Amino acid sequence: MTYLVGENCIRCKLGDCVEVCPVECFHEGPNMLVIDPDECIDCGICVPECPLDAIFSEDEIPDGQEKFLEINKELTQIWPLIYEAPKRPEDADDWREVKDKFKYLER
């Protein structure tokens, strides 16, 4: 089992999760973070850290976000591994409450 980053992260990318991950398994894309499922140790420490509730367990994926399991797997291979919280997008707060953000995902 693994944890994965879902839709709420898109265009927000706050990065509190990166700070607490004990195994450094977050990768950074242009406007979202993903978790490397092969490195994740299933500890769940990152879940309560995310103010956007963007991280969930593989067996508790919210309806409609099933595709993010594959997206996390796929983009981990492309995006660089990060060790510290990334710089927050300046307009991150404007996107917190926005729904259906999948269309804004930049690869």
CB of 67 to another protein, least distance (A): 25
Residue in 14, 28, 41, 58 binding another protein, rule: CB under 8 A: 41
Q: Give the Cα separation of 105 and 103 in Å (integer).
A: 6
Assess 98 for contact with another protein (CB under 8 A): no
Instruction: Name the one range near another protein by CB under 8 A: 15-23, 27-35, 69-77, 99-107.
Output: 15-23
CB of 60 to another protein, least distance (A): 12
- Taking residue 44's Cβ as centre, other Cβ atoms within 10 Å add up to 12
* Residue 6, H or E segment: none
CB closer to another protein out of 60 and 106: 60
Burial call 12-24: b when 16+ CB within 10 Å, e when fewer: bbbbebbeebeee
